[in-house]
Amino acid sequence: MTATILDGKALAGRIETELCGEAETFAGVFSRRPRLVVVLVGDMAASASYVKSKAAAAGRVGIDSEVVAMPATASTAELVALVQAIARNEHGPADGILVQLPLPSHVDTVAVLDAVPPDRDVDGFHPENAGLLSQGRPRFIPCTAAGVQRMLIDAAIPTAGKHVVIVGRSDIVGKPLALLLASRPPLGCPPDDTGGCDATVTICHSRSGDIGALTRQADIVVAAVGRPKLITAMMVKPGAAVIDVGINRVDGGLVGDVDYGPVSEVAGWISPVPGGVGPMTVAMLLANTLLAAELRLGKR
């Protein structure tokens, strides 16, 4: 068996095409383009690269973006004040506000993220948005979790009644993805159309013991812990879908949390690294930014 490749880059391209039309309509109604403001702290090469790719993608779909850089020595109070100033539009219109993570270790990350107004929290990290998601009425869904769900739906991978094992319990991926996949279908959805919903979800973490015993039972495995090649072929049920969220720099290259080559010979579907979940995360950020602009200005 050779797995079907889940091409996140191609899917993200199709989403960008859809967003172009929406952004053009927005600009025609409000005489300006949607706008995203990103806070970048320090000079980490990986963070700068991610921010650059987000800005480039925003430009492709007709969303303006600005990066506000702060030194790595910036304090929590300074960063909170900056986010509050951006929210007051002191750096121009800010439909979406994103604080690039990780922040330096001396910074209270929660305090900085909580300073982002929930109606402009396009990362979906604010407790208000997390609460709405937990109640099944999401506003902004964390971008990586939304991207994984969209990949499953696009590939017509069934989730209703299936067992999903998520390896990783972060607030950014593991927890919100579990809520998404276990949720009821949206109101008005046909009874037989439950893509991306109605799953039975297990979350694994560092205290779970024999993770392989759980993943071998799974119809869908999502690896999101940041440990290179953690998921091996022996840990995957034949024909299962394997979604690799991990991005790890090893020997100058990028590898995921899945041992891609051997696992691709066992799985039914697999997402690559790079070119899988990464582009989808950016696409969902753009979708959230456009939604934020529309909600704030009353279009949607």
Q: What is the pLDDT of residues 200-217, one digit of tens each?
A: 999 999 889 899 999 999
pLDDT at position 284: 98
pLDDT at position 189: 60
Question: What's the chain's length in residues?
Answer: 300
pLDDT at position 285: 98
Q: Band the pLDDT of 252: cuts 50, 70, 90.
A: confident
Closest among 156, 171, 149 to 287, alpha carbons compared: 149
Task: Tell me whether domains 31-123 and 142-278 share a fold.
Answer: yes
Any idea where the domains of the chain sit in the sequence? 31-123, 142-278
Sequence-separated (6 or more) residues with CB below 8 Å from residue 20: 60, 61, 62
Contact 68, 126 (CB under 8 A): no
Domain 142-278 in this protein, CATH class:
alpha beta
Contact 267, 235 (CB under 8 A): no
Contact 265, 297 (CB under 8 A): no
> In the structure encoding, which two tokens stand for residue 198, read together?
């109605």
pLDDT at residue 17 is higher than 70: yes
Query: Which active-site residues does the annotation give?
Result: 54, 100, 123
pLDDT at position 175: 97
31-123 folds as Rossmann fold (3.40.50)
- Mean pLDDT for the chain? 94
DSSP character for 233?
A: G
3-state secondary structure (DSSP) of residue 180: helix
Q: Which value, to the nearest 10 degrees, does the dihedral of the CA atoms of residues 208, 209, 212, 216 take?
A: -60
Q: Band the pLDDT of 187: cuts 50, 70, 90.
A: low
pLDDT at residue 194 is higher than 80: no
